[in-house]
Amino acid sequence: MFYLIGLGLGDAKDITVKGLEIVKKCDKVLLEGYTSILTVGKDALEDFYGRPLIVADRELCESNIDDFLKEAKTNDIALLVVGDPLGATTHTDMLLRAKEYGVETQIVHNASIMNAVSCCGLQLYNFGETVSIPYWTETWKPDSFFEKIVGNHSRNLHTLCLLDIKVKEPTEESLTKKVRQYMEPKFMSVKEAAKQLVQIVENQTDTGISKSSLAIGLSRVGAPDQKIAAMSLGDMQNHELGAPLHSLVIPAPELHPLEIDYLAQFR
Amino acid sequence: MFYLIGLGLGDAKDITVKGLEIVKKCDKVLLEGYTSILTVGKDALEDFYGRPLIVADRELCESNIDDFLKEAKTNDIALLVVGDPLGATTHTDMLLRAKEYGVETQIVHNASIMNAVSCCGLQLYNFGETVSIPYWTETWKPDSFFEKIVGNHSRNLHTLCLLDIKVKEPTEESLTKKVRQYMEPKFMSVKEAAKQLVQIVENQTDTGISKSSLAIGLSRVGAPDQKIAAMSLGDMQNHELGAPLHSLVIPAPELHPLEIDYLAQFR
């Protein structure tokens, strides 16, 4: 059997009882380590589970997972994924490949930022489509996600913005070399996201979203040191929200009275 | 401390390790029993936790929760909620009231249908706003949710439709009587939802959604007997998907190749 197990968002104890039982009985357990992170690392998870984990980077998940999938025909193999295991397309693709090999699969769901974002007091059914904000470079400044934020905003819907994560990304220089070198991991902060957004709203002025629009920054949702801050997008450019992961919400222009009351504590 | 603890979607073991530890140490534990249900009842949960639970119906949650909140100033009280604890406005409201009483609160997130719906292979970031489909009566047939489905569809987004639940609803006749009588609990099936939707699309013919549009029915997501079926909305009117809870998805008109491949197994 091949298991995809969600770890939730905070620490080792955010796994479900069902998930933990499976982890303990599996022959091999992989830890997916590049689409998201917990507030604790591999060591803390190994301590808590009482067993070793194999780190699965992008290369393993996208190109070398087949060996594990084939092995799952006769053995129990689990892949642990931060949040819910079906948040990223890679994992859906894995399930399809498993099916091709005739391997049975089971999914153990858990909280993901897509539902836990409700901790800021905005109601989930008032969210439109989710967007991802990528890191800009000197020469590459994509802003197509902004159109979706504007679309949600114009229909009075909130937008959850997932912020870029770079883990084990090869350096540009090493792409042509034999020995691959990797960049330091980096995680976009709400500060950085707000800066990129402000650059966009300064160029696109008739969208209904400006520097003075409300923005909500969230960090380490589900962890004891979770932080939530509500202020203008302009001010968010200078607001430090601590260790990763961060997410940003651009709320609808008109909020429900309960949403306003709840948000007040974060202003 | 007042704890709001998500139970996830399947059975007793879908609680997180963190959630279970809190349940075991609390002075009183309430089980919210009217916005959703697990595949197991109160008895199975009490067996698994090794402690009694107090059932919290709508009346208790909306009007009589204050006594418990005040008690949480000195004792540890938990409210267990199916799915993620912040899916319904009632619970956000409770956290605000707790704050008024100076009571500390903690949320333990879990999977909700809002993210677990990805088990059908549709990608979460391609979902627009979620809608709720209410039971129609002879005289009351609201269809405003349909506008939102059409809005999502026209922007090539999927719509998750949450289906109505009636638990401990007073009968119409008893509303004027001293002794309140309650209806049998009922849970809308994908069949019933499809029937109501077909009535709407037969009246509104230029929306891009018709009887032949693709619909995806889901039942008991996260449980071992989970079912997923993909067929036309018209056919879904006659498709039996077993025990509750059910959810319905109206997919975007153009699907990603990976979504098509994954959905194929449910056709």
Q: What CATH number labels A2-111?
A: 3.40.1010.10
Q: Is A87 exposed, middle or buried (0-12, 13-18, 19+ CB in 10 A)?
A: buried
Beta carbons within 8 Å of B203's beta carbon, 6+ residues apart: none
Nearest CA in chain A to B107: A222
Which residue among A84, A127, A157 sits closest to B118, beta carbon to beta carbon?
Answer: A84
Q: Which CATH architecture has domain A114-266?
A: 2-Layer Sandwich (3.30)
Q: What's chain A's average pLDDT? A: 94
Nearest CA in chain A to B8: A110
B267 interface with A at CB cutoff 8 Å? no
- pLDDT greater than 80 at residue A88: no
Please, what sign has the CA dihedral across residues A5, A7, A12, A14?
negative
Model confidence over A236-246: pLDDT tens digits? 999 999 999 99
Model confidence over A12-64: pLDDT tens digits? 999 999 999 999 999 999 999 888 888 889 999 999 999 999 999 888 888 88
CA distance A94 to A98: 6
Interface of A with B in 164-183 (CB under 8 A): none
Q: Do B16 and A13 touch (CB under 8 A)?
A: yes
Residue A77 pairs with which residues in a beta bridge? A2, A28
- A109 CB neighbours in chain B (<8 A) are 8-9, 14, 111, 115-116, 119, 221-222
- pLDDT greater than 80 at residue B88: no
First to last CA, chain B: 48
- pLDDT greater than 90 at residue A1: yes
B122 interface with A at CB cutoff 8 Å? no
Q: Do B8 and A21 touch (CB under 8 A)?
A: no
pLDDT of residue B177: 81
- pLDDT greater than 90 at residue A87: no
CA distance A150 to A154: 6
Model confidence over B222-250: pLDDT tens digits? 999 999 999 999 999 999 999 999 999 99
The ipTM is: 0.94
Which residue among B86, B222, B258 sits closest to A109, beta carbon to beta carbon?
Answer: B222
Cβ atoms of residues A83 and A113 within 8 Å: yes
Q: Which of A200, A191, A258 is nearest to A229 (CA)?
A: A191
Distance from CA of A84 to the nearest CA of B (A): 7
- pLDDT greater than 90 at residue A173: no
Amino acid, res. A48: F
Percent of chain B topping pLDDT 70: 100
CA distance A81 to B74: 37
Mutate to test the interface with A, among B105, B118, B122 (most CBs of A within 10 A): B118
A40-54, B140-154, B170-184, range with the lowest pLDDT = B170-184
pLDDT of residue B176: 81
pLDDT of residue B266: 97
Size of interface A-B (CB pairs under 8 A): 158
A80-94, B8-22, B111-125, range with the lowest pLDDT = A80-94
A21 interface with B at CB cutoff 8 Å? yes
Mutate to test the interface with A, among B114, B122, B220, B265 (most CBs of A within 10 A): B114
pLDDT of residue A35: 82
CA distance B239 to B88: 29
3-state helix/strand/coil string of chain A: CEEEEECECCCHHHCEHHHHHHHHHCCEEEEECCCCCCCCCHHHHHHHHCCCCEEECHHHHHHCCHHHHHHCCCCCEEEEECECCCCCHHHHHHHHHHHHCCCCEEEECCCCHHHHHHHHCCCHHHECCCEEECCCCCCCCCCHHHHHHHHHHHCCCEEEEEECEECCCECCHHHHCCCCCECCCEECCHHHHHHHHHHHHHHCCCCCCCCCCEEEEEECCCCCCCEEEEEEHHHHCCCCCCCCCEEEEECCCCCCHHHHHHHHHHC
**Per-domain residue ranges for chain A?**
2-111, 114-266
Cβ atoms of residues A28 and A54 within 8 Å: yes
What integer is the mean pLDDT of B108-116?
96
* Residue B36: pLDDT band with limits 50, 70, 90: confident
Please, what sign has the CA dihedral across residues A202, A205, A207, A208?
positive
pLDDT of residue B236: 98
Cβ atoms of residues A154 and A209 within 8 Å: no
Q: Which residues of A are annotated as a binding site for S-adenosyl-L-methionine?
A: 9, 84, 87, 112-113, 163, 221, 246
pLDDT of residue A248: 98
A114 interface with B at CB cutoff 8 Å? yes
Measured from the Cβ of residue B229, the count of other Cβ atoms closer than 10 Å reads 18
